[in-house]
């Protein structure tokens, strides 16, 4: 082989070796970067990092009309559900309540009225926590209009999965219509367990699975055909209310959620269906 032939062969060998090294590096890089986990956003499948932002956008967009839409969608029945929820909690003096995803104050304000009616405000306080500041601002305005004692309320923007509170800080934890919107339900439940004192009570009010076939059919028709239209007409938010309807169908049923609460460490876990299972109240204790 002449000199030119030898030179060409060496160049080709080097090119082949270079390509192999590049392929190997790319292969190792792809293996070292695990694919991001996916979750659901309503009926959509999205990356976990996307869901929090998408949920944030939903509640930012609906914040100003949130309470009006609750009344309209449920024909006011949500007020009865929340009243029952508070009576099941049955707060007494020295109750330190953390109300998570409680931005507009519906549960916290019921708590304050409850202890005031029983004249047991001594030592009581509520922290209203929400990941969405728009919801908190609506709640603060409502609180002023209702002339509630600001010394009994703390407002805190916080993620239910990473609460900025010390261990054993509260003796009651409530979350109403918020648990289905977190990305990792198990993490939120573990955080609830962490911040509760021994003997503290966890309570969740959430949409669940209807236990009557006829009612289920009617409920589905109303949910998917009517509620998004209401959202569009009243709040200009079709897609946001479409998501809220879909998120209910993706949420664990009563028994599955009970198991998840027990897995987080709670004991004496029970649930109570309201309105044939449209919503359910789950309760557990940190023992």
Q: What angle, 0 to 180 degrees and rounded to 10, lies between the N-to-C axes of helices 227-235 and 66-74? A: 140
Rg of the chain taking only CA atoms, in angstroms: 25
Residue 114 CB partners (closer than 8 Å, separation 6+): 86, 87, 91
Give just the sign of the alpha carbon dihedral 210, 267, 88, 101: negative
DSSP 8-state code for residue 225: H
Check whether 130 is labelled as a binding-site residue. Answer: yes
Q: Beta-strand (E) ranges in 134-240?
A: 153-157, 170-176, 196-207
- The token pair at 151 is 């010394």
| 119 token code pair | 């004249």
Task: Of 88, 191, 99, give the one whose Cα is nearest residue 139.
Answer: 99
Nearest C-alpha neighbor of 150 from the set 108, 94, 100, 101: 108
Angle in degrees, CA 64, 68, 69, rounded to 5: 95
Dihedral sign of CA atoms 189, 195, 198, 200 in order: negative
Q: How far is CA 131 from CA 59, 141, 164, in A?
A: 10, 17, 12
Specify the 3-state DSSP secondary structure of 65.
Answer: helix
271 - beta bridge partners? 282
Residue 167 in marked binding region: no
Known binding residue 235? Answer is no
Binding residues: 104, 130, 159-160
Binding site per annotation, positions for S-adenosyl-L-methionine = 104, 130, 159-160
């Amino acid at each position: 082989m002449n000199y030119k032939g030898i030179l060409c062969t060496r160049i080709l060998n080097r090119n082949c070796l270079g390509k192999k090294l590049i392929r190997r590096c790319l292969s190792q890089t792809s293996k070292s970067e695990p694919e991001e986990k996916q979750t659901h956003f309503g009926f959509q499948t999205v990356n976990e990092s996307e869901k929090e932002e998408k949920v944030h956008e939903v509640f930012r967009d609906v914040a100003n009309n949130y309470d009006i839409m609750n009344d309209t969608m449920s024909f006011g029945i949500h007020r009865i559900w929340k009243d029952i929820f508070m009576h099941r909690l049955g707060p007494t003096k020295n109750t330190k309540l953390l109300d998570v995803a409680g931005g507009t104050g519906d549960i916290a304000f019921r708590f304050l009225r409850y202890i005031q009616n029983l004249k047991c405000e001594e030592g009581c306080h509520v922290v209203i926590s929400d990941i969405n500041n728009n919801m908190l601002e609506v709640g603060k305005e409502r609180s002023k209009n209702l002339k509630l004692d600001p010394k009994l309320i703390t407002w805190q923007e916080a993620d239910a999965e990473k609460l900025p509170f010390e261990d054993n800080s509260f003796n009651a934890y409530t979350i109403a219509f918020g648990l289905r919107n977190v990305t990792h339900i198990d993490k939120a439940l573990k955080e609830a367990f962490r911040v509760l004192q021994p003997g503290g009570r966890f309570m969740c009010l959430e949409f669940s699975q209807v236990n009557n076939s006829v009612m289920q059919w009617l409920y589905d028709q109303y949910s998917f055909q009517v509620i998004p239209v209401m959202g569009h007409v009243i709040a200009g938010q079709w897609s946001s209310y479409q998501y809220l309807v879909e998120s209910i169908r993706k949420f664990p049923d009563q028994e599955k959620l009970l198991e998840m609460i027990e897995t987080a460490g709670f004991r004496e876990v029970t649930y109570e269906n309201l309105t044939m299972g449209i919503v359910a109240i789950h309760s557990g204790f940190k023992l």
